[in-house]
């Protein structure tokens, strides 16, 4: 029987990274996920790893890049304002195909936000890739156990495709405590990291050069061609989603992360009252499960998108459904209280479902 | 009988084995001299096999790309942060970063000082050509007062642009810093002195004594609008008086 | 007088910056030649004066100059 422990989401991020063989972590404090850094500061030195607190998120992400040059598994984590400061280094990493994992614990609102409260207002920000036209995979867990699995999966995807991979959590997921089964995962074989920079003696005297200056490439169209083919491979084999009670559903809720947990509660209550509701939950926000969502939406005939934001996921749902089925949205206005601590609760979702029947 | 004297032909100076020639620098730019000098020191100290060079996001990227060592180039400013992390993860590798004066004194200043404060065991080579060379010679932290640039059309004055920035002197007092010096290559004698500074700086990393920075005053003929020969005089008359040469800190092994 | 030194200038690398002309104490180099790039490049114009000291080689920003020295040794 695998060991079961009570664990917070944030601690699970750190534990999962270490389980995936990540020994090096660089970060800057930011609510609501500094606990990840506290965990790493305690644990990494014990396993000969490197914990380094940087002078800001810009530097944390470049430290991530620097350490990743060695071919080691490395991670950083931050929240919305910090992720904004990381955009240049992340684009550099995607360009030079330097793999690493970034965990974003999104927090409510633009600007400083509310100092780290609940919210899902970063969906658009993290799913459109980096500046310059390149995407990176985004995994969206909705439980402590999924955090444990997806962080390790993120390291696998990063190494398999040599691409930056993100795990998106939020205030609720990071701070909540759940039972965690310490399973081990085997995601399959991985290519050698012959691109790593460990000194040319390491490679029989042949030196390597990684660079981010696409201007120096002789064939920039070829570069983008290669990146598009890589995206296609990721889309074809790494797109993930969950359907819950959608087989006979005539009403489809679409939601991710903590809102999907709330929506699942609403589906169960609705079913108990004879309403045939179902849930479609995107797990990879990029690549977005477009075709699968379209089929489920057409089958159900009516869609309600639930997201704790002014409306971002709903745009991708409308793109997938292409107007062939009505798409409704329940967002931040539906919170149970107006203050930052508010949440979209299952009862409110159920009320919306009943009104839309 | 005239004694037969054997004449042998020795190679005194050869073109080093670079990965990419010709170099991308402008004619007369001192970057080429400095990169060759660094290459010589790496060769003499037999470090090339374990070296990873972090190039900057300006002209220095072209040099990092050309040297025959493992190298990363491109981003503008964060060289010290990148080098810090790579050195911590691979302490047995020899890690140094090459950056411009803008990268050290402006966009990368936070990382530059933070790495010095942490006493990172890395070596920083800064190219002080008093302007942003690759982008057209704009005002840099090290632009001398009075120098005309596209962003100081009337010449640098302190009301708008403050005073020239001195990196090595700034970090020298920090306890994490083992070595801070400034040299130049505008004469053969200075080139040899600067080479010794680079060698000393590299030794600090091998002895794990902490952060080391060597700043080079170097010519930028294109943006200074001077011929390479006149640049040497500009360095003598304008640059050296503002940026004194020499060592500002040199922590010996036992000093600790 | 036996030759003391000799330099070989790689025409493809020389960008005509004339630093070697300035640094050569014996004035062996001049800018008298048009290179493959159509610009004036360094030319080993006075080989006799060259002592093979190597300064032009070390100071060339484009590493375009190889320097040799001729050493006369009496056989043992």
pLDDT attached to residue B1: 52
Q: Give the mean model confidence (pLDDT) for residues B149-169.
A: 97
Q: Which residue in chain B is spatially nearest to C21 when comparing CA positions?
A: B229
B70/A63 touch (CB, cutoff 8 Å), yes or no: no
Q: What interhelical angle do B31-44 and B59-66 show, nearest 10?
A: 40
Contacts of B21 in chain C (CB under 8 A): 13, 62-63
Coil/strand/helix, residue B10: strand
Residue in A58, A201, A209 closest to B78 by CB = A58
pLDDT attached to residue A340: 87
Say yes or no to pLDDT of A174 above 80: yes
Coil/strand/helix, residue A148: helix
Query: CATH number for the domain including A211?
Result: 3.40.50.970
Number of domains in chain A: 2
Q: How far does Cα A136 stand from its chain's mean position?
A: 10
Nearest to A80 by CA among A108, A49, A59, A41: A108
Q: Which two tokens stand for residue A281?
A: 């939950």
pLDDT attached to residue B74: 83
C58 to chain B, closest Cα gap in Å:
7
Q: Residue A32: is the preceding peptide bond cis (ω within 30°)?
A: yes
CB A164 within 8 A of CB A99: yes
Contacts of B65 in chain A (CB under 8 A): 209, 211, 216
CB A282 within 8 A of CB A291: no
Kindly state whether residues A63 and A132 are assigned to the same domain.
yes
Kindly state whether residues A250 and A129 are assigned to the same domain.
no
pLDDT attached to residue A214: 73
Residue in B16, B28, B187 closest to C61 by CB = B28
pLDDT attached to residue C74: 72
Domain encompassing residue A196: 4-238
| Separation CA A125–CA A122 (nearest Å) | 5
A95 to chain B, closest Cα gap in Å:
10
Model ipTM value: 0.95
Query: CATH number for the domain including C11?
Result: 3.30.70.20
Say yes or no to pLDDT of A53 above 70: yes
C72/B5 touch (CB, cutoff 8 Å), yes or no: yes
B128 to chain A, closest Cα gap in Å:
22
CB B134 within 8 A of CB B106: no
In the structure, what pLDDT confidence band is assigned to residue C1 with cuts at 50, 70 and 90? low
Contacts of A209 in chain B (CB under 8 A): 19, 64-65, 70-73
Give the residue, A212 or A92, on which the prediction is more confident: A92
B74/A212 touch (CB, cutoff 8 Å), yes or no: yes
B70/A198 touch (CB, cutoff 8 Å), yes or no: yes
Q: What is the pLDDT of residues C2-16, one digit of tens each?
A: 779 999 999 999 999
Say yes or no to pLDDT of B253 above 70: no
Q: What is the pLDDT of residues B77-115, one digit of tens each?
A: 999 999 999 999 999 999 999 999 999 999 999 999 999
Domain encompassing residue C22: 4-70
C45 to chain B, closest Cα gap in Å:
19
Owner of token pair 């054997």:
B6
Q: Which residue in chain C is spatially nearest to B21 when comparing CA positions?
A: C13
Task: Enumerate the H helices of chain A as residue ranges.
Answer: 9-19, 34-43, 57-68, 80-85, 87-95, 123-127, 144-161, 171-175, 220-238, 257-272, 290-300, 313-321, 346-356
Computed over every residue of chain A, the mean pLDDT equals 96
Say yes or no to pLDDT of A22 above 80: yes
| Separation CA A54–CA C30 (nearest Å) | 53
Answer yes or no: is C76 within a domain. Answer: no
Say yes or no to pLDDT of B254 above 60: no
Cα-Cα-Cα-Cα torsion A318, A323, A326, A328, nearest 10 degrees, comes to 20
CB pairs under 8 A between A and B: 128
Using a CB–CB cutoff of 8 Å, tell me whether B83 touches chain A.
yes
Owner of token pair 């614990």:
A105
Kindly state whether residues A221 and A148 are assigned to the same domain.
yes
Q: CA distances (Å), B60 to each of A236, B29, B132, in order?
A: 40, 11, 11
> B254, exposed or middle or buried, with CB in 10 Å at 0-12, 13-18, 19+?
exposed
Answer yes or no: is C8 within a domain. Answer: yes
Q: Give the mean model confidence (pLDDT) for residues B15-39.
A: 94
Kindly state whether residues A303 and A223 are assigned to the same domain.
no
pLDDT attached to residue B75: 95
Using a CB–CB cutoff of 8 Å, tell me whether B48 touches chain A.
yes
Task: Enumerate the H helices of A214-289 as residue ranges.
Answer: 220-238, 257-272
Do the bridges between strand C29-34 and strand C40-44 make them parallel or antiparallel, or are there none, so unpaired?
Answer: antiparallel
Q: Which residue in chain A is spatially nearest to B57 when comparing CA positions?
A: A213
Domain chopping of chain B, boundaries: 31-250
Answer yes or no: is C54 within a domain. Answer: yes
Owner of token pair 């057209």:
B136
Q: CA distances (Å), A344 to each of A80, A118, A265, B159, C19, in order?
A: 20, 10, 12, 54, 73
Residue where a domain stops, chosen among A238, A266, A290: A238
In the structure, what pLDDT confidence band is assigned to residue B3 with cuts at 50, 70 and 90? low
Contacts of B218 in chain C (CB under 8 A): none
Using a CB–CB cutoff of 8 Å, tell me whether B22 touches chain C.
yes
Contacts of A202 in chain B (CB under 8 A): 49, 70
Chain B: touching chains (3 or more CB pairs < 8 Å) = A, C
Contacts of B18 in chain C (CB under 8 A): 63
Using a CB–CB cutoff of 8 Å, tell me whether B189 touches chain C.
no
pLDDT attached to residue B105: 97
Q: What is the pLDDT of residues B122-136, one digit of tens each?
A: 999 999 999 999 999
C59/B33 touch (CB, cutoff 8 Å), yes or no: yes
Percent of chain A with pLDDT over 70: 99
pLDDT attached to residue B256: 47
Using a CB–CB cutoff of 8 Å, tell me whether B212 touches chain A.
no
Kindly state whether residues A100 and A247 are assigned to the same domain.
no
Beta carbons within 8 Å of A214's beta carbon, 6+ residues apart = A95, A132, A220, A223
CATH hierarchy code of domain B31-250: 3.40.50.970
Q: Which two tokens stand for residue A8?
A: 């917070």
Q: In what order do the strands lie in the sheet with A24-27?
A: A50-53, A24-27, A74-78, A101-106, A165-170, A138-139, A284-286
Assess whether chains C and B touch, using the rule of 3 or more C-beta pairs within 8 angstroms. Answer: yes
Between vectors from CA C73 to CA C72 and to CA C76, what angle results, nearest 5°?
Answer: 165
Q: Residue A173: is the preceding peptide bond cis (ω within 30°)?
A: no
Number of domains in chain C: 1
Computed over every residue of chain B, the mean pLDDT equals 95
């Amino acid at each position: 029987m695998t060991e079961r422990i009570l664990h917070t989401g944030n601690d699970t991020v750190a534990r999962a990274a270490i389980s995936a063989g990540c020994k090096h972590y660089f970060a800057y404090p930011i609510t609501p996920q500094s606990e990840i850094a506290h965990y790493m500061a305690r644990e990494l030195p014990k396993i000969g790893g490197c914990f380094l607190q940087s002078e800001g998120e810009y530097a944390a992400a470049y430290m991530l890049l620097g350490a990743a040059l060695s071919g080691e598994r490395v991670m950083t984590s931050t929240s919305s304002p910090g992720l904004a400061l990381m955009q240049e280094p992340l684009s550099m990493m995607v360009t030079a195909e330097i793999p690493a994992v970034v965990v974003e614990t999104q927090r409510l609102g633009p600007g400083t936000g509310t100092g780290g409260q609940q919210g899902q207002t970063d969906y658009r920000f993290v799913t459109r890739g980096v500046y310059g036209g390149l995407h990176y995979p985004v995994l969206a867990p909705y439980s402590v156990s999924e955090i444990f699995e997806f962080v390790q999966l993120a390291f696998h995807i990063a190494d398999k495709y040599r691409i930056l991979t993100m795990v998106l959590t939020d205030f609720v997921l990071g701070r909540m405590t759940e039972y965690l089964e310490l399973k081990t995962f085997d995601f399959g074989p991985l290519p050698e990291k012959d691109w790593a920079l460990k000194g040319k003696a390491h490679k029989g005297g042949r030196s390597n050069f990684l660079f981010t200056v696409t201007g120096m490439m002789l064939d920039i169209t070829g570069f983008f061609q290669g990146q598009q083919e890589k995206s296609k491979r990721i889309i074809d084999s790494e797109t993930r989603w969950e359907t819950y009670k959608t087989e006979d559903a005539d009403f489809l809720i679409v939601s991710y992360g903590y809102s999907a947990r709330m929506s699942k509660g609403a589906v169960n209550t609705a079913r108990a009252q004879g309403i045939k509701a179902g849930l479609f939950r995107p797990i990879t926000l990029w690549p977005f499960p477009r075709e699968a969502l379209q089929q489920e939406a057409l089958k159900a005939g009516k869609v309600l998108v639930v997201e704790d934001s002014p409306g971002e996921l709903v745009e991708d749902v409308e793109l997938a459904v292409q107007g062939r089925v009505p798409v409704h949205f329940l967002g931040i206005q539906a919170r149970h209280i107006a203050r930052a601590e508010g949440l979209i609760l299952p009862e409110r979702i159920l009320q919306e479902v009943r009104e839309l029947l | 009988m005239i004694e037969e004297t054997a004449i042998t032909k020795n190679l005194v100076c050869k073109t080093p084995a670079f990965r990419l020639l010709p170099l991308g620098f402008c004619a007369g730019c001192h970057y080429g001299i400095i990169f060759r000098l660094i290459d010589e020191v790496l060769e003499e100290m037999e470090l090339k096999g374990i070296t990873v060079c972090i190039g900057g996001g300006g002209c220095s990227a072209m040099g990092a790309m050309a040297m025959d060592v493992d190298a990363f180039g491109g981003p503008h400013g964060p060289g010290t942060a990148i080098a810090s992390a790579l050195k911590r993860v691979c302490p047995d590798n020899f890690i140094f970063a090459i950056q411009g004066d803008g990268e050290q004194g402006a966009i990368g200043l936070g990382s530059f000082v933070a790495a010095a404060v942490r006493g990172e065991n890395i070596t920083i080579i800064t190219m002080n050509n008093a302007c942003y060379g690759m982008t057209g010679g704009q005002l840099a932290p090290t632009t001398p007062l009075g120098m005309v640039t596209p962003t100081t059309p009337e010449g640098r004055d302190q009301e708008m642009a403050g005073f020239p920035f001195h990196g090595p002197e700034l970090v020298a007092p920090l306890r994490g810093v083992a070595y801070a010096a400034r040299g130049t290559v505008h004469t053969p004698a200075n080139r040899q002195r600067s080479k010794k500074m680079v060698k000393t700086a590299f030794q600090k990393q091998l002895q794990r004594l902490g952060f080391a920075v060597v700043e080079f005053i170097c010519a930028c003929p294109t943006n200074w609008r001077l011929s390479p020969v006149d640049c040497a005089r500009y360095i003598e008359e304008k640059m050296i008086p503002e940026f004194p040469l020499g060592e500002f800190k040199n922590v010996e092994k036992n000093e600790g | 007088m036996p030759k003391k030194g000799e330099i070989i200038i790689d025409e493809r690398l020389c960008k005509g910056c004339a630093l070697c002309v300035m640094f050569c104490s014996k004035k062996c180099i001049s800018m008298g030649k048009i290179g493959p790039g159509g610009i004036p490049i360094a030319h080993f114009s006075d080989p006799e004066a060259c002592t093979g000291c190597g300064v032009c080689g070390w100071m060339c920003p484009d590493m375009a100059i190889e320097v040799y020295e001729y050493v006369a040794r009496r056989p043992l």
